[in-house]
Amino acid sequence: MSYLWVYLVVDLWFFLISLLITKVSFRRQVMTTSKKIRFLFQTSIFIAFVELLSGQEVPDVFGPILKPDLDVKGELVVVLPPEEIQSYINKVKQASARDPEWFKEFSAKSKPGIPLPYDEKLGLSPKEYQEYRELWDKREFKAVAPVSLRLTKVGDEAVGFRWKLRGSGEAARLSLLSYLPKEDVVVSTNGKMARLEDIDAPAESILGAWKGREWRFEEETGLSKVKENFAIGETVDGKYGLVVYRLQDVSSAGSLLFDKRMVIRFPNPDAK
């Protein structure tokens, strides 16, 4: 908007100068020069405006739910089903303890974050399984803490541009991540996260129906296995944006050494 005001002021200045000049020959000379200067000024304004727009063009992986240099208020959330569901979960745990190998294989065939399909070996009758699914459908988002997010572009053409999603409060760890558009990777303190298949979660998934983009870093040493995931997207109804992050470190013996996870939900600024 500042460019437009400068342009209008300069344009008015040229017009007033032309009115004050009375000698025709001199006026024509000044007007010719004024037109040249005005053309150069308009061209420079246009180039600067184009550079401003192109420099702030947000990669598709973030848009349209995040705007550059705009603070977005959100919430760190957890998903909680009704307490009554715990009795059904306990029955499934007891059944899995009776045949752990079968349960491990059966679970591996199912998509994560979605209730297991029915099987009599789960320890639930068809009626109980239906009641379990009905309770699952009543799950709700519960706010744990307020957070804010800000998408910024850093770097230059010499070293390469990158985008950072700066977070406050419980989301501060996200500030350690950078997105490199040319490579389509997310970089953390652990290394580069590779792009995975896009998320297209159904309504029965733990976060509900949503679509997004995901990256993952994995590294296994003789001592432990590190897995880091980052995903961003929006709910299918277009009302909310979602950021999902998890960092997990498991020892070679299978013990959980570190497990940091967060789900952030924030209003979509373009939602109607």
Q: Are residues 128 and 234 in the same domain?
A: no
Name the domain count of the chain.
3
Q: Which domain holds residue 39?
A: 2-55
pLDDT digit string, tens, across residues 90-140: 999 999 999 999 999 999 988 888 999 999 999 999 999 999 999 999 999
- Establish if 258 belongs to a structural domain: yes
- Whole-number percent of the chain with pLDDT over 70: 78
Q: Are residues 92 and 185 in the same domain?
A: no
pLDDT digit string, tens, across residues 160-215: 789 999 999 999 999 999 999 999 999 999 999 999 999 999 999 999 999 999 99
pLDDT of residue 228: 97
pLDDT of residue 22: 47
- Establish if 272 belongs to a structural domain: no
- Establish if 60 belongs to a structural domain: no
- Establish if 47 belongs to a structural domain: yes
Q: Which of 99, 114, 138 is the last residue of a domain?
A: 138
Q: Are residues 190 and 221 in the same domain?
A: yes
- Establish if 168 belongs to a structural domain: yes
Q: Which of 138, 153, 185 is the last residue of a domain?
A: 138
Residue 218 has pLDDT above 80, yes or no: yes
Q: Which residues of 231-252 are buried (b: 16+ CB within 10 A; e: fewer)?
A: bbbbbeeeebbbbbbebbbbee
- Establish if 222 belongs to a structural domain: yes
Q: Are residues 124 and 157 in the same domain?
A: no
- The more confident residue out of 35 and 119 is 119
pLDDT of residue 47: 37
Q: Are residues 18 and 96 in the same domain?
A: no
- Establish if 93 belongs to a structural domain: yes
Residue 51 has pLDDT above 60, yes or no: no
Q: Are residues 155 and 261 in the same domain?
A: yes
pTM reported for the whole predicted model: 0.75
pLDDT of residue 147: 96
